[in-house]
Structure 1
Amino acid sequence: MSRATPHLFQQPLRASKVPVFYTNKVIESYAAKGSTPISLKHLINFGKGGRNKGEKEEAEKLLKGGNFLRTELPTRLSHRLRDLQELPYIVASNPRMAHVYDLYLEAFEQIRRFPVIKDLEDNDRFCEFMQGTLDKHRVVIPDLAIGVSESSPFHLPPQDLDTIMVRMLRSRISRRVITEQHIALTSQFRERQRSLDKGKGREVDEQRVGIVDTRLKAAEVVRRCEELIRRRGGAEATVPIRLEGMLEDEFAYIDEHLEFMLFEMIKNATQATVAHHGSEEAKHHPITITIVHGPRDLAVRVSDEGGGLTPYGGLPPPPAPSFPLLAPGSTVADFATAQRLDIFSFSHMRRYYQHHAAQDEAQAAALASSSPSSPAGALESPDSAPATGAEGAAPKPLTGIMALRTVGKLAGTVKEQLAVERAREGQVLTEEDEVLRDAQMKSGIGLPLARMFAEYFSGTLEIFTVQGHGSDALLKIPKFGIESWASTERR
């Protein structure tokens, strides 16, 4: 391809709005490049390409993949660094946002300076370094969520908030996919080498290609999600779940992505059922999960009897809504039965956070002024302790983004969480464990993030509600992920 010929997926360059004091010629040089689009089909074909030919060819593929990551990741990180630089200073200087910026800048510098990968030992060191970086960046989602939730709508309007969060999180998904795929391919290659050394022959696991499960059953993923909810206990664990449809069909997908999306859909359905009917009555209102395999896509519907979704999550309407509440063509009268969009908005997450934070602050102030032992104005910071109810009452459970303030990172995948729950069966949970559970179950960021996982490989996640009865969440994902959102990273 000649230099004058534009790449098929190349996006037009965005004019830089970076303040002068942020100017960094190295970052700007990387940000001027386009990112390489990656599809699920590409992940599978690249992983199988070397594996099916032999050990030498597979090793060469790994070295090629490692060096691709070494040059591709700094480009993708530079785009997000520039996005953070273009935020209003009062937003970017929030300690949480500044921490994300520092993490990205550190990763950018370390990855671009990593030596060229020349052999398998170099590749092992690179994989170890990248795994450490992935673990270190587990705080990014809580930091971003809290950082934007603490911003003022005057400095970061709802539409701008949604734009920055979509860019940051969609890019994060794409970086983790290609990084985890390379680490998993390397691990599988090394495992086959060890099998060969033990005289077992070169055993090839045809089902998993890196992080992609080529024979994934959606029904098994649903059952894992259900088990996790059951093991966590509470009223949600008593809500019956009915599974129907094509339960034995298989397809190729990243199982961790499907787990996250389905867990969020099922979790929200159980919570809505308990909230609407109460703990005892919820046992008589099952959730129905229907799985349908079409020629080109998978559809999963989660239907509940949780009373439907109230407009704006029960909050007062915003003075000037900047994000859609209903699907195009709907009217205010359609609140009773309509497709809902507001619950996927990150600006809705901020309104929820700020509304309840203000309520807690007012309640704490009232308690402090009425308590003879507390000097006026001696209020605890939001990070120091959970809000309390009336004097002598139990602490008020943390919900929404407020639950994230007390934990350093979100828990791992559904499989990882399930392994932890199985290991501590019968044990008494510590206060830290309970707080982490609340943060994972009630962060408020789950559904927006689940939709982004669906859209990453050109799928959709929609929610339709019937006020007074319940809601249907409908997930549709392509079976072979021909498209990829990675091509839109430049925007």
Structure 2
Amino acid sequence: MNSTKYFSITKGTYAPINSLAAKSHLTSTASLPQKFYQNNVLDKYINQDAKKVTLRQLVMFGRNLTKSKLIASANYVLSELPVRLAHRIRDFQHLPYICGTNPYMGRVYQMYWKSFDEFRKFPKVTTLEENIKCCEMFTRNMKEHSQIIPLLGMGVSECVGLVDPELIDKFMNRMLMTRISRRTLVEQHTLLSKNFCPNEDETNCPEPPTNIPGLRAQIVGKVDTQCNIGNLVHECAAKAQSIFEDYYELVPGTAPQVIVDGHKDAQLMCVTDHIEYIVFELLKNSMKASIQNAIDNSGINGFDQNDLDFLPINVTICQTKANVTVRISDKGGGIPPDVYKQIWNYCSPYKSKFLTNFHRIKEMQAKTNENTGISPLVPLGFGLPMCSVFANYWGGDINIYSLPGYGVDSYIRLPRLGNIAENPAIEDTEVLDEVAIHHHK
């Protein structure tokens, strides 16, 4: 009989499960020993469907907020978080045993169990005072979970060569997708709560004056209903240029220029943090390639910044009724074919040398304005896969085409109307199990 071992822990216990048992828990683990799983708790939430939302629903709910709507929002988030966490806890239990012995993976698992228990046990919110306590609990958990990405990165770095890369890719995509979903719900609710100022009639009082016309109508919680993608590209470009000028000690204004054309005033409904991460990461990659290509072609050792001319990066924006597409084109020499095959992987021979940099980071929220303690130019190996996850979460996608020896074209497609439901990645709980079983046959 196949003696494949699977990762299964409850309260810090690591236990082997043979492949026959593993196959039996593709849909449920109720038949396994209680010491391995808290089945009666976990299965209850795994068997529930996530109540997915669209950006438009978040906006409509957040406008004209009332006390009763705010309390309903708190209870909705409280009911969703344990459901979404339960699926990720189950994914940990389906990992090969070698992952279960990894201390970084074990820490993430324990943090998820702790939050899962706290969310499901938190009492139903009935007053604004209780909502304040609920928001404090949400914020504390989000802060604690800022360690998750570095811990997963360190765990993955130690699994390279030991675990099927396809399994790790599926596992990580689902971990990060659901992480985005949880943080989006929590941050939306806490921002609405923070800005709520009830009148005697229990409606939200008017927002204070602002110098930005239309801000009250445009920003609802985390959602920007009219995000100008051209402005966002310029802001991300300026940030990337500043970083490279500091790093290479370039004269200010001499980093590769970003030329924006097309539908410069294109707008979409989005969570700005998500789009900023994608655009900044792709511009950063193009800028780095353009600079390095110019240095390599110059033949200069210990170059002077005044001796190099960098080719510009062209960004074209196209808006249709349903989507905004952004093309980022550089002439940085392209991506070597052997590397190109691995750009969407988390766990590959090429990425392994970068994953170890996660040991230098304590916290990471995947936002462009955060200070992780290391330079934004230090490669981690997660950049492009995380861009894909951010795009996929709201129904978009990213495609990258390389012309080796010349440059790269990156295409970002983003739904612009806010009517696409989120993708919390909980419908395909069995997929990870099937990959693991196939790999160990």
- Interval of TM-score (by shorter of Structure 1 and Structure 2): 0.7 to 0.9
Distance in 2 separating the partners of 1:199 and 1:477: 32
Distance in 1 separating the partners of 2:169 and 2:308: 34
Kindly provide the amino acid, as one letter, of the partner of residue 437 in structure 1.
Answer: S
Kindly provide the amino acid, as one letter, of the partner of residue 452 in structure 1.
Answer: V
Gap change, CA 1:16 and 1:230, over 3 Å in 2: same
Q: Report the alpha carbon displacement of residue 195 of structure 1 after superposing the two structures with TM.
A: 9.9
Gap change, CA 1:171 and 1:467, over 3 Å in 2: same
Q: Report the alpha carbon displacement of residue 146 of structure 1 after superposing the two structures with TM.
A: 1.9
Q: How many residues align?
A: 380
Kindly indicate which of the two structures has a greater share of residues assigned to helix: 1
Q: Report the alpha carbon displacement of residue 287 of structure 1 after superposing the two structures with TM.
A: 0.7
Q: Report the alpha carbon displacement of residue 302 of structure 1 after superposing the two structures with TM.
A: 0.7
Gap change, CA 1:224 and 1:22, over 3 Å in 2: farther
Number of the residue aligned with 1:277: 294
Distance in 2 separating the partners of 1:250 and 1:131: 30
Gap change, CA 1:23 and 1:282, over 3 Å in 2: farther
Kindly provide the amino acid, as one letter, of the partner of residue 287 in structure 2.
Answer: T
Contact in 1 for aligned 2:315/2:326 (Cα 8 Å):
yes
Please state whether the residue corresponding to 1:299 is helix, strand or coil: strand
1:164 aligns with 2:179: no
Contact in 1 for aligned 2:67/2:203 (Cα 8 Å):
no
Picking from 225, 237, 247, the partner of 1:226 is: 237
Q: Report the alpha carbon displacement of residue 107 of structure 1 after superposing the two structures with TM.
A: 0.5
Contact in 2 for aligned 1:241/1:289 (Cα 8 Å):
yes
Please state whether the residue corresponding to 1:461 is helix, strand or coil: strand
Kindly provide the amino acid, as one letter, of the partner of residue 256 in structure 2.
Answer: V
Gap change, CA 1:442 and 1:73, over 3 Å in 2: same
Q: Report the alpha carbon displacement of residue 115 of structure 1 after superposing the two structures with TM.
A: 1.4
Number of the residue aligned with 1:186: 193
Number of the residue aligned with 1:324: none
Q: Report the alpha carbon displacement of residue 402 of structure 1 after superposing the two structures with TM.
A: 2.1
Q: Report the alpha carbon displacement of residue 15 of structure 1 after superposing the two structures with TM.
A: 1.7
Number of the residue aligned with 1:243: 260
Per-residue CA deviation, residues 84-138 of structure 1 (Å, 9 max, x unaligned), is 0111222022111011111111101111111111111111111121011111111
Picking from 46, 68, 76, the partner of 2:76 is: 68
Number of the residue aligned with 2:357: 403
Q: Report the alpha carbon displacement of residue 282 of structure 1 after superposing the two structures with TM.
A: 6.0
Distance in 1 separating the partners of 2:336 and 2:207: 61
Number of the residue aligned with 1:36: 51
Picking from 255, 261, 272, the partner of 2:272 is: 255
Please state whether the residue corresponding to 1:206 is helix, strand or coil: helix
Please state whether the residue corresponding to 2:374 is helix, strand or coil: helix
Percent of pairs identical after alignment? Answer: 28
Distance in 1 separating the partners of 2:205 and 2:70: 18
Number of the residue aligned with 2:225: 214
Q: Report the alpha carbon displacement of residue 230 of structure 1 after superposing the two structures with TM.
A: 2.9
Kindly provide the amino acid, as one letter, of the partner of residue 295 in structure 1.
Answer: K
Please state whether the residue corresponding to 2:216 is helix, strand or coil: coil
Number of the residue aligned with 1:304: 330
Number of the residue aligned with 1:139: 147
Q: Report the alpha carbon displacement of residue 28 of structure 1 after superposing the two structures with TM.
A: 2.3
Distance in 1 separating the partners of 2:230 and 2:207: 36
Please state whether the residue corresponding to 1:283 is helix, strand or coil: coil
Kindly provide the amino acid, as one letter, of the partner of residue 27 in structure 2.
Answer: A
Number of the residue aligned with 2:97: 89
Gap change, CA 1:199 and 1:42, over 3 Å in 2: closer
Distance in 1 separating the partners of 2:108 and 2:397: 28
Q: Report the alpha carbon displacement of residue 205 of structure 1 after superposing the two structures with TM.
A: 1.3
Contact in 1 for aligned 2:394/2:422 (Cα 8 Å):
yes
Distance in 1 separating the partners of 2:48 and 2:365: 34
Contact in 2 for aligned 1:242/1:287 (Cα 8 Å):
yes
Stretches of structure 1 lacking an aligned partner (at least 5 in a row): 1-12, 52-57, 314-339, 357-399, 421-432
For 1:355-366, what aligned pairs fall within 5 Å after superposition?
356=353
Distance in 2 separating the partners of 1:197 and 1:212: 18
Kindly provide the amino acid, as one letter, of the partner of residue 157 in structure 2.
Answer: S
Contact in 2 for aligned 1:240/1:283 (Cα 8 Å):
no
Contact in 2 for aligned 1:310/1:467 (Cα 8 Å):
yes
Distance in 1 separating the partners of 2:93 and 2:146: 21
Contact in 2 for aligned 1:273/1:282 (Cα 8 Å):
no
Distance in 1 separating the partners of 2:208 and 2:218: 22
Number of the residue aligned with 2:342: 342
Picking from 319, 339, 346, the partner of 1:293 is: 319
Contact in 2 for aligned 1:312/1:343 (Cα 8 Å):
no
Please state whether the residue corresponding to 1:270 is helix, strand or coil: helix
Contact in 2 for aligned 1:96/1:143 (Cα 8 Å):
yes
Number of the residue aligned with 1:448: 385
Gap change, CA 1:198 and 1:270, over 3 Å in 2: closer
1:352 aligns with 2:344: no
Q: Report the alpha carbon displacement of residue 32 of structure 1 after superposing the two structures with TM.
A: 2.0
TM-score after normalising by structure 1: 0.72
Gap change, CA 1:238 and 1:29, over 3 Å in 2: same
Q: Report the alpha carbon displacement of residue 341 of structure 1 after superposing the two structures with TM.
A: 5.6
Per-residue CA deviation, residues 119-175 of structure 1 (Å, 9 max, x unaligned), is 111111111210111111111112112212211544x21111111111111111111
Q: Report the alpha carbon displacement of residue 489 of structure 1 after superposing the two structures with TM.
A: 1.1
Contact in 2 for aligned 1:230/1:238 (Cα 8 Å):
yes
Number of the residue aligned with 1:387: none
Deviates most, 186-195 or 159-168? 186-195
Contact in 2 for aligned 1:36/1:486 (Cα 8 Å):
no
Q: Report the alpha carbon displacement of residue 345 of structure 1 after superposing the two structures with TM.
A: 1.6
Q: Report the alpha carbon displacement of residue 185 of structure 1 after superposing the two structures with TM.
A: 1.4
Picking from 101, 114, 121, the partner of 1:106 is: 114
Give RMSD over aligned pairs: 2.8
Stretches of structure 2 lacking an aligned partner (at least 5 in a row): 1-24, 296-302, 429-441
Q: Report the alpha carbon displacement of residue 437 of structure 1 after superposing the two structures with TM.
A: 1.5
Gap change, CA 1:255 and 1:191, over 3 Å in 2: farther
Kindly provide the amino acid, as one letter, of the partner of residue 258 in structure 2.
Answer: I
TM-score after normalising by structure 2: 0.79
Contact in 2 for aligned 1:239/1:282 (Cα 8 Å):
no
Contact in 2 for aligned 1:238/1:282 (Cα 8 Å):
no
